[in-house]
Chains A and B, each alone.
Chain A
Amino acid sequence: MKLHHKLKTFKLGGVHPDDQKISAGVAITPLPLPKVVTIPVAQHIGAPAKIIVQRGDMVKTGQIIATHEGFVSSNIHASASGRIGVIEEVMDSSGFKHTAISIRVKGDDWYENIDLTETLVEEIKLDPKEIVARIMEAGVVGMGGAAFPSHVKLSVPEGKHVDHLLINGVECEPYLTADHRLMLERPKEIIVGIKILMKALGVEKAIIGIEDNKQDAIELFQQLLKNESGITVEALEVHYPQGGEKQLIQALLNREVPSGGLPADAGAIVHNVGTTYAIYQAVQKNKPLLERVVTVTGKSVKQPSNFLVRIGTPVIDLLIAAGGVPEDTGKIISGGPMMGKAIADLDVPVAKGTSGILLIPKDEASRAEVYNCLHCGKCIEACPMGLEPYHLLLMSKKGNSQRAKEEHILDCIECGSCSFVCPSNRPILDYIRLGKTQIRKQKKV
């Protein structure tokens, strides 16, 4: 019998959506190379990468095609070999048009010095500085969805002391199973990745946080880490949005990140398991980030799957491989059902931050009628950041950015718990997001 009250979780707010992990039992299968890959140059938070190739150039798989511009930016690599096609603005999964490089794929000819064997390399030869440089070179970004450049996270600002590395294996979004499968199929690589990160940060303790609905992964890691000192596994209560950085720190360490602060202020650095695996490959195998695991799932999808996909593959290829688009589909979402975004075009390419493609049936996709606010306070109870969502909605709607800022609107992690619980179906998060953009615009001016 599971004793839920014994499991750790974050304290404030949160919701419990139905977890629907349909594709959890499906092994990761590599998807064949598409005819054309379209690689956006802005796949990460920070400055878009600077293109260094031209139309007509021949590139090899793993070759850099756009370099990072500034520190908070990331390198972009060719995810297949072939000739560079048009470089133009295309719609990406953010819903906006951004510059992207297309490659007409010809074979799979890899760039030099990349180790493509499956052998596990355990010995870490590089020193901390070299590790960070290698991660930067390989263009690794946070693969949980936000796509924040990993080398920036590893460069802890001076004067801040980090004593814990937290590995995020929570995958709290319903439906998604990409991280779960990766933990089951590549646990040893992930453990080496954790050791690399510990060495880079100079920390002695690492904790892998995994939600209780992934018992097999928890047991597997417990068994593999029996003789390891410093790395532990912690089973967590199933509780959305536990995968949020600040929530995970609170759940595992019982520390709070101050408003406007960084996880380093609470003495912790959080990395996703997918990122940890990419870091293992970058450091030990010299393999840049050019592919990732993407879950394709939905209640009526014929073959819910976990695919290993090259960056830049159009979403339609994934859908075809999963048995096509069911007739009752109302929305196709990039990401999970809570934080994901509906895509407006099936040619949208898979990016570094694309964790899943979710097909929602029509009857579940449409929004219900909006009623007036009842002031019931359910959104306040659900908010994991301790904000007053109904109030922030009004502030944003009236364009009162000053007041919204005073009410800490910028602390919102956009998890959508408020909109999820609202009995009047109010578009709370929509307006909060609008308020945040208004403040950011004012900052720019």
Chain B
Amino acid sequence: MNPVILYTILSLTAIGIVAAVVIYFVSKKFAVQEDDRIGKVEEVLPSTNCGGCGQPGCHAFAKAVVEAGDLSSLHCPVGGNAVMKQVAEILGIKAVERDPYIAVVRCSGSFEHRKKTNVYDGTESCKIAAALYSGDTGCAYGCLGMADCVDVCDFEAMYMDEKTGLPVVIEDKCTACNACVKECPKGILELWPKGKKDQRVYIACLNEEKGSTARKECSVACSGCSKCFEACRYDAITMTNSLAVIDPEKCKLCMECVETCDVHNIITANVTPEKIQAANEQRLKREERARKKKEEEKLAAEAAKQNTHETPPQA
């Protein structure tokens, strides 16, 4: 063999061995001591690095969980209760169950319901359009339809419906990571409790203007008529600035309010039409009873009045 090649191989091997020894000792000497539980926790996490938990990534979340030693304020929305249970097992602490959430679109102003009043030809971004003006329809609260939320979704859980121009959340894919909620400049997307048997009910409008103005802008806008507010038996609906809002914490999913809306803008998910109809009938019956009771009371009061009128002359 050519001695040049031989020497080259020998010298490089020698350098390699020396370097390996040096690296070995240096890595031992300067090793970063990390809690090995962090790695274990990270393994069970979904590794999406979506930031939905409020931490900058899954590793940071694992670190925060191990350091805190308590799960009350930390929760991985993507993994949900199943993953959090595993995390609790690894750390040997008590798991905290949380109700799963899902993003809902609180605007029903489709092309059909909300006429365009001007044409926007600027940069295709809801954020920029929202910083420039109130929007290309009369409604200043509604969806701008340029899909910032869809672009930001890491889970392909959203798409724009071409017929309505509104975003749609795919229930099975949404992990409630909060990214779309943060992105939407109009605040149309909101995290909502997934609900018992995945049933939900919400009012898909944010327009706080007077009823007449709101309806001029959008034919399905909440006019603030208060019918649903009056129908609710659990005080779960509040009226602010002629806008009805359902509080999911108080809502018992009785569905009695759904049919009261004259523009059918109380949106339900995974509720059978039969249940809604039954709830509506129940409400109508209850109202009828209340009306009858009122009438009877009125009659009784009138009768009592007449009696009192008749008695004085004898006394």
Q: Which residues of A contact B (CB under 8 A)?
A: 88-89, 91, 94-97, 341, 344-345, 365-367, 370, 427, 430-431, 433-434, 437
Which parts of B115-132 form the interface with A (CB within 8 Å)? 117-118, 121-123, 125, 127-128, 131-132
Closest CB of chain A to B62's CB: distance in Å? 25
Complex Cα spacing A89 to B217, Å:
13
Complex Cα spacing A437 to B123, Å:
16
Q: With A89-B209, A430-B122 as known contacts, state yes or no: A95 contacts B127, CB within 8 Å.
A: no
Asked whether, in the complex, the Cβ of A434 is within 8 Å of the Cβ of B133, the reply is no
Asked whether, in the complex, the Cβ of A367 is within 8 Å of the Cβ of B121, the reply is yes
Asked whether, in the complex, the Cβ of B128 is within 8 Å of the Cβ of A427, the reply is yes
B13 within 8 Å of A (CB atoms): no
Complex Cα spacing A97 to B131, Å:
13
How would residues 104 to 120 of chain B score, 1 for a CB under 8 Å from any chain A CB and 0 otherwise?
A: 00000000000001100
Asked whether, in the complex, the Cβ of B118 is within 8 Å of the Cβ of A434, the reply is no
User: Could you show 24 A-B contacts with beta carbons less than 8 Å apart?
Assistant: A88-B210, A88-B213, A91-B134, A95-B132, A95-B133, A96-B140, A97-B140, A341-B132, A341-B133, A344-B134, A345-B118, A365-B121, A370-B123, A427-B122, A427-B123, A430-B122, A430-B123, A430-B128, A430-B131, A430-B132, A433-B128, A433-B132, A434-B127, A434-B131
Chain A residues with CB under 8 A of B210: 88
Chain A residues with CB under 8 A of B128: 427, 430-431, 433-434
Chain A residues with CB under 8 A of B117: 344-345
Complex Cα spacing A430 to B126, Å:
12
Q: Which residues of B contact A (CB under 8 A)?
A: 117-118, 121-123, 125, 127-128, 131-134, 136, 140, 209-210, 213
Main secondary structure of the interface of A (DSSP, over half): mixed
Report the nearest A residue to B136, measured CB to CB: A344
Complex Cα spacing A94 to B133, Å:
7
What 8 pairs across the A-B complex have the smallest Cβ distances?
Answer: A95-B133, A344-B118, A427-B123, A430-B128, A430-B123, A96-B134, A437-B131, A434-B131
Closest CB of chain B to A30's CB: distance in Å? 30
Complex Cα spacing A430 to B132, Å:
8
Complex Cα spacing A89 to B125, Å:
26
Complex Cα spacing A434 to B148, Å:
14
Chain B residues with CB under 8 A of A344: 117-118, 133-134, 136
Asked whether, in the complex, the Cβ of A433 is within 8 Å of the Cβ of B133, the reply is no
Chain B residues with CB under 8 A of A427: 122-123, 128
Among B117, B133, B210, B213, max chain A CB count under 10 A is at B133
Complex Cα spacing A345 to B217, Å:
14
Complex Cα spacing A344 to B144, Å:
15
Asked whether, in the complex, the Cβ of A95 is within 8 Å of the Cβ of B121, the reply is no
Q: With A97-B140, A434-B128 as known contacts, state yes or no: A367 contacts B122, CB within 8 Å.
A: yes
Taking A88-B210, A95-B132, A96-B140 as known contacts, 6 extra A-B pairs with beta carbons closer than 8 A to each other, sorted by chain A number, are: A91-B134, A344-B134, A365-B121, A366-B121, A427-B122, A433-B132
